[in-house]
Structure 1
Amino acid sequence: MAHNSTSTLIRPPATPLGVSVAGLEFLPVRGGLWRVASVRGTILGQIELCSQDAGAEPRFTARALHSDGVRHSTLGDFGTAVAAADCFR
């Protein structure tokens, strides 16, 4: 008996943020969420795509990771990924 294996994608695939900021890397975590790290590998926070409703402009929320490595503080909501990324400089 032949076995057909199919997989179901539960989450949208992670895609690159498409932003370049000197000294920073943006690592896709899942669809709409990116980890922000220094080029040395220190995790600085995250950027999340907050709204992508039909007809609405996308919004990006930037959050800084606290020194405890668990909690985040919201740095702000931005109209572009570039603006959200700039606050990590």
Structure 2
Amino acid sequence: YEKWSPHRYIHNCKTPVLVIHGAKDFRVPEEQAFQLFTSLQRLGVESKFLYFPDETHFVAKPLNSKLWWENVYDWFKTHLK
């Protein structure tokens, strides 16, 4: 686990990253999303963090879903020129 842990390779990341996380996601511990975003910011990699304290792995509430889609589309519009 130590050899292949993502934290050992984050310094290679140069691609802009949109991190989206729901606090009730049992698949990915909350602190891992925060750690990823913090690492990207410290490395100067363009990144954005979208956090849903009331969602799981899937954003299902209508207003949250709308916000999710708006951010994803904006991210693609900005980075897929």
TM-score by length of 2: 0.26
More helix by share: 2
Larger Rg: 1
Q: TM-score, normalised by structure 1?
A: 0.25
Taking CA–CA contacts closer than 8 Å with sequence separation of 6 or more, which of the two structures ends up with the larger relative contact order?
Answer: 2
